């Protein structure tokens, strides 16, 4: 970067620090809600930039760099941080000024990065964060002395308290115009360098009074319970059950309310507008599309409410720690558990929750298998077919045959997910020594401001980046199912004459070997919108006059007569695997930042679905 591109009117400040040093809370306090969340070009590392208006009226841009232990990167997060600081990341300006955030209660580990940054020679200030907790613990750190020892300014900050950054803002306000920065060169330290730095840290800490490896802390006492071999797993099970229950059950009434609201709005509009193409587009295209986006919000908000609290309090890394080996046996990270559990409710919040998995390969594997968890949208389809074809027979020990079939479908989903994860792991290169080195930070109370900002960011990302794709797809699907209109005097249902109808008829040839008739094939096209839409679409194809929840009741005797059992079983197998949900694919596109993975996902799931249905159909025909 040369001097001409630097604008001192709005200097770029980078926040740098170890993971868990409270950097994000500090960033939230500095920038409030004026934040832009995006990805760094070419990677899935989250880029957070915000701005701050200083008391003197100066606009300062603040970049929250990913947490790093060292400038020699081991993870993609650390790679980004090192590259930006060294000015070698394409598309990123080298920061004018660095705020090195340190956890005042953990200086022994945090000061090492300060020494490295100092060596880099960027103008900087050290923020002694969580200074309130340090004081409460009886740690008195002489900030002035620390500044003298380090030869850089040091300010105390409290990231979780309004006004906790006033001194820091004062320093940022007074950043002097800097000379164009010289070329930064970083040399990887040798073992001796690391030991030298360590001794230096201890010497400095000895001088300022911050070196204390306190015996048993409050966190240690909590860990004695949480990591206990028997009590720990019990607590984990309760937490996981609570999260699952919340996403599955608590989200139900707001989702129903959103559906009912959108339906009511559609009915209201329908009563006012004359029948026309515009009315169809507005009600069945746009409004239904908006509804299908909004309906995901309750689950997303509830899931992230729990994830943010668990992460912020320090429990999530412990849960990942406890589950590491269990999940690792199929090649997944311990952190994959919560996203996968949530995917039983809906894959979309589940896939969004994979952000908590730092390792990109683990994260991708989790995203790829999340839709194999049987989501709640499959239930209406399963319920319809099972109640139409599986006899209500009581088996031994009070088990119902119908319930058992449903349970088997869930298990098949989980087992296939494990198999796919295993294959993905096998394909991974050089994965023999997968590093963990996961810090289990001190516990603290979650911060409300951080929670609200975090929730809002998830909602905003979903609505603006995923919602727009979903809405567009829904309108396209509506158009496919509506055009061209049936010719005058047509006897079949309108959809039969549309593009979707013709597509379905063509698909019927493809699906004949797996036992699907043309009605099923046509229903699968609008059913791409969401899995449960297939039930309504079947109702349309069979030209039922029933609407809403009554479709299923009316359909049941109809399909029980017109479909064979092998066809029904084949359709069940299809719905275990098929990527019959464009919203999921849109979310994968957003989360991986490329079309490559949603396409791979769609392809492999279609292949699995077709294969499973084929085998099911052929075997069932033998009986």
Cβ 419 to another protein, closest distance in Å?
A: 21
Q: Which two tokens stand for residue 156?
A: 């105390």
Distances in whole angstroms, Cα of residue 139 to Cα of each of 210, 214, 286, 464: 6, 10, 59, 45
Q: Does 72 bind another protein (CB under 8 A)?
A: yes
Residue of 27, 40, 69, 575 that binds another protein (CB under 8 A):
69
Q: Identify the DSSP state of 1.
A: -
Min dist CB 78 to another protein, Å, is: 10
Residues 426-445 binding another protein (CB under 8 A) are: 432-441
In the bound state with another protein, the residue whose beta carbon lies nearer, of 237 and 472, is 237
Give the whole-angstrom CA distance, residue 307 versus residue 355. 10
Q: Quick check: 274 binds another protein (CB under 8 A)? A: no
Q: Which is nearer to another protein, 105 or 552 (CB)?
A: 105
Q: Give the nearest distance from C-beta 272 to another protein in angstroms.
A: 59
The 323-352 site mask, x for binding another protein (CB under 8 A), equals xxxx-------x------------------
Per CB under 8 A, contacts with another protein among 219-258 are 219-220, 223-224, 227-229, 232-233, 236
- The reply on whether position 5 binds another protein by CB under 8 A is no
Which of 124, 117, 127, 116 lies closest to 175 in space, CA to CA? 124
For another protein, the binding residue among 22, 291, 317, 339 (CB under 8 A) is 317
CA nearest neighbour of 601 among 363, 371, 332, 416: 371
Q: Is the CB of 76 or the CB of 232 nearer to another protein?
A: 232
**Within 371-410, which residues bind another protein (CB under 8 A)?**
none
Question: Total residues at the site for another protein (CB under 8 A)?
Answer: 49
Nearest CA-CA partner of 23 in 68, 54, 74, 57: 68
C-alpha 165/C-alpha 176 separation (Å) is 19
Residue 505 lies near another protein (rule: CB under 8 A) = no
DSSP class of residue 89 equals: S
- Cβ proximity to another protein: between 328 and 446 the closer is 328
What is the distance between the alpha carbons of residues 550 and 92, in angstroms, rounded to a whole number?
56
Q: Decide whether 73 or 486 has the Cβ nearer to another protein.
A: 73
The answer to whether residues 126 and 153 touch, using CB atoms and an 8 Å cutoff, is yes
- Does 313 engage in binding with another protein (CB under 8 A)? no
Which residues from 556-585 bind another protein, rule CB under 8 A?
A: none
Measure CA 182 to chain center: 39
Distance (Å, whole) CA 382 – CA 294? 24
Contact 47, 39 (CB under 8 A): yes
70 binds another protein (CB under 8 A): yes
Residue 10 binds another protein (CB under 8 A): no
d(CA 27, CA 49): 9
The greatest distance separating any two alpha carbons of the chain, rounded to the nearest whole angstrom, comes to: 94
Tell me which of 57, 191, 398, 487 binds another protein, using CB under 8 A.
191
Residue 227 or 554 having the CB closest to another protein: 227
d(CA 174, CA 343): 49
Please give the residue ranges that form the binding site for another protein (CB under 8 A).
Answer: 69-70, 72, 74, 105-109, 112, 188-189, 191, 194-195, 198, 212-215, 219-220, 223-224, 227-229, 232-233, 236, 317, 320-326, 334, 432-441
């Amino acid at each position: 970067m040369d001097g001409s591109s630097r604008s001192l009117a709005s200097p770029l400040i980078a926040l740098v620090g170890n993971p868990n040093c409270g950097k994000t809370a500090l960033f939230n306090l500095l920038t409030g809600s004026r934040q832009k969340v995006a990805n760094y070009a070419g990677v899935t590392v989250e880029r957070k930039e915000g701005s701050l208006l200083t008391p003197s009226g100066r606009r300062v841009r603040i970049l929250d760099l990913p947490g790093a232990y060292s400038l020699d990167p081991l993870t993609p997060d650390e790679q980004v941080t090192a590259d930006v600081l060294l000015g070698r990341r394409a598309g990123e300006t080298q920061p004018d000024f660095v705020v090195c955030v340190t956890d005042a209660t953990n200086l022994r580990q945090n000061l090492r990065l300060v020494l490295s940054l100092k060596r880099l020679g960027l103008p900087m200030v050290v923020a002694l964060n969580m200074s309130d907790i340090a004081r409460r613990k009886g740690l008195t750190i002489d900030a002035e002395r620390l500044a003298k020892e380090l030869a850089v300014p040091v300010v105390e900050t409290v990231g979780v308290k309004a006004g906790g950054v006033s001194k820091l803002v004062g320093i940022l306000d007074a950043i002097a115009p800097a000379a164009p920065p010289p070329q930064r060169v970083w040399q990887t330290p040798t073992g001796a360098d690391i030991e030298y730095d360590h001794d230096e840290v201890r010497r400095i800490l000895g001088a300022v009074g911050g070196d204390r490896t306190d015996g048993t802390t409050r966190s240690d006492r909590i860990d004695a319970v949480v990591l206990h071999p028997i009590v720990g797993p019990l607590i984990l099970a309760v937490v996981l059950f609570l999260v699952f229950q919340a996403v599955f059950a608590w989200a139900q009434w707001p989702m129903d309310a959103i559906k009912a609201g959108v339906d009511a709005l559609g009915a209201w509009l329908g009563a006012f507008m004359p029948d026309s193409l515009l009315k169809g587009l507005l009600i069945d295209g746009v409004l239904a599309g908006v509804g299908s986006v909004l309906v995901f919000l309750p689950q997303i908000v509830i899931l992230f409410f729990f994830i943010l609290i668990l992460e912020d309090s320090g429990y999530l890394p412990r849960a990942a720690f406890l589950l590491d080996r269990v999940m690792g046996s199929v090649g997944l990270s311990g952190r994959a558990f919560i996203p996968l559990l949530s995917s039983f409710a809906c894959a979309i919040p589940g896939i969004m929750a994979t952000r908590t998995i730092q390792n990109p390969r683990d994260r991708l594997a989790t995203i790829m298998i999340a839709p194999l968890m049987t989501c709640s949208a499959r239930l209406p389809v399963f319920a319809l077919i099972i109640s139409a074809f599986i006899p209500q027979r009581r088996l031994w020990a009070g088990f119902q045959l119908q319930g058992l079939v449903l349970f088997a479908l869930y298990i098949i989903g989980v087992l296939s997910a494990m198999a796919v994860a295993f294959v993905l792991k096998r394909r991974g290169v050089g994965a023999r020594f997968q590093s963990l080195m996961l810090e289990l930070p001190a516990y603290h109370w979650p911060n409300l401001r951080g929670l609200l900002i975090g929730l809002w960011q998830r909602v905003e990302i979903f609505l603006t980046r995923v919602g727009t794709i979903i809405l567009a797809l829904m309108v396209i699907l509506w158009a496919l199912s509506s055009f061209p209109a049936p010719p005058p005097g047509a006897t079949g249902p309108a959809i039969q004459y549309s593009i979707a109808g013709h597509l379905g008829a063509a698909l019927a040839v493809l699906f004949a070997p797996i036992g699907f008739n043309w009605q099923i094939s046509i229903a699968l096209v609008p059913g791409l919108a969401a899995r449960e839409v297939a039930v309504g679409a079947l109702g349309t194809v069979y030209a039922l006059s029933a609407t809403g929840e009554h479709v299923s009741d009316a359909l049941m005797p109809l399909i029980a007569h017109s479909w064979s059992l092998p066809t029904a079983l084949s359709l069940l197998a299809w719905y275990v695997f098929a990527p019959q949900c464009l919203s999921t694919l849109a979310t994968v596109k957003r989360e991986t930042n490329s079309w490559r993975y949603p396409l791979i996902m769609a392809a492999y799931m279609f292949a699995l679905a077709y294969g499973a249905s084929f085998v099911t159909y052929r075997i069932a025909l033998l009986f």
